[in-house]
Amino acid sequence: MTVSSTVERLKDQSCEMRKNLLKLCHKAGSHIGGELSMADIITALYQYGMKYDPKNPDWDGRDRFILSKGHGAGALYIALAMAGYFELDQVLNTYKKLDSPFGEHPSDEIPGVEISTGSLGHGLSISIGMALAAKLDKKKHRVFTLMGDGEIQEGSVWEGAMAAAHYQLGNLVAIIDRNRISLDGETEKLMKLEPLVDKWKAFGWNVIEIDGHNMEQIVDTIDNLPTVDSDTPTVIIAKTVKGKGVPCMENDVDWHAGSIDAALLEKSCAELDEARKKERGEL
């Protein structure tokens, strides 16, 4: 059973992440919709679920995280900053500037970033290579990869899915940000993905479907992952809302990417704070 204080702490941290994502969007524009949809998941991973050492980013025993949907880089940068890899102001003050490593897609020049990503459909296969190497070397860490649901329309993802099951990579955890909206519309209208659970099961994966904004469910799922030495890879299908937490952005394809002015930044941050206070019973 998840300790309630842990869940409340993580909810507070994901609220702060969303406000910082809005600040990035105000400064330089960003892929804000999909960053907001993944905020709870990546907060739980870095503030609860993964083992790492920000003072020693290359520690061999660390869990590996691959952001396959590389356009969600802002959320990764803020997660790393909140985890202690570098100061948050480094991200907020230099994001997308020409001489900054903090671009719209993550670079492995940044401490804590395992590999540069952004070419969609590749993250799962990269993660499979890492997981297979760890298994052969009898290492005890996990490899996590976060994918967008739009990118799993690519065939390379399903080739990877087949390989992961074949090599019995129980140390691999794939997470799908299932917000049902990609760059140019609803996934089910562009290229139908359902029945998604059945497809992953047919490929030989352990499939877990959760509410990707329910922090208790996210934490319980992390707590109950199969052991690292098990024979079956796990995929977590996280049902999310694009633009989650900002009412004017939720489920709106126009907010796949964009920028916001100072007035919308202030209004949106106030809405996030108010929603969190209501959750805590303070309003």
As a whole number of angstroms, the distance between CA 158 and CA 151 comes to 11
Half-sphere exposure of 236 (CA within 13 A, CB side): 28
pTM of the model: 0.97
pLDDT in tens, the chain (283 residues): 567 999 999 999 999 999 999 999 999 999 999 999 999 999 999 999 999 999 999 999 999 999 999 999 999 999 999 999 999 999 999 999 999 999 999 999 999 999 999 999 999 999 999 999 999 999 999 999 999 999 999 999 999 999 999 999 999 999 999 999 999 899 999 999 999 999 999 999 999 999 999 999 999 999 999 999 999 999 999 999 999 999 999 999 999 999 999 999 999 999 999 999 999 999 8
Q: Does domain 4-279 have CATH number 3.40.50.970?
A: yes
Interatomic CA distance for residues 36 and 113, integer angstroms: 20
Enumerate the domain spans of the chain. Answer: 4-279
Rounded (10°) angle between helices 4-28 and 32-44: 150
